[in-house]
Amino acid sequence: MFLIAFPLMIIPFVLYNMIAFLLNISFTTELFNIPLLSGRSMAVSTGDMLLVLAVFLLYVEILKATRLGTKAIMDHVLSLVLFICFAVEFLTIQAAATSTFLILTAISFVDVIGGFSITIRTAQRDLSVERVEGTVG
Residue 118 has pLDDT above 60, yes or no: yes
Question: What pTM value is reported for the model?
Answer: 0.83
- What are the extents of the domains in the chain? 10-136
Average pLDDT, the chain: 87
3-state secondary structure string across the chain? CCCCCCCCCHHHHHHHHHHHHHHCCCCCCEEEEEECCCCCEEEEEHHHHHHHHHHHHHHHHHHHCCCCCHHHHHHHHHHHHHHHHHHHHHHHCHHHCCHHHHHHHHHHHHHHHHHHHHHHHHHHHHHHHHHHHHHHC
> In this model, does residue 129 exceed pLDDT 60?
no
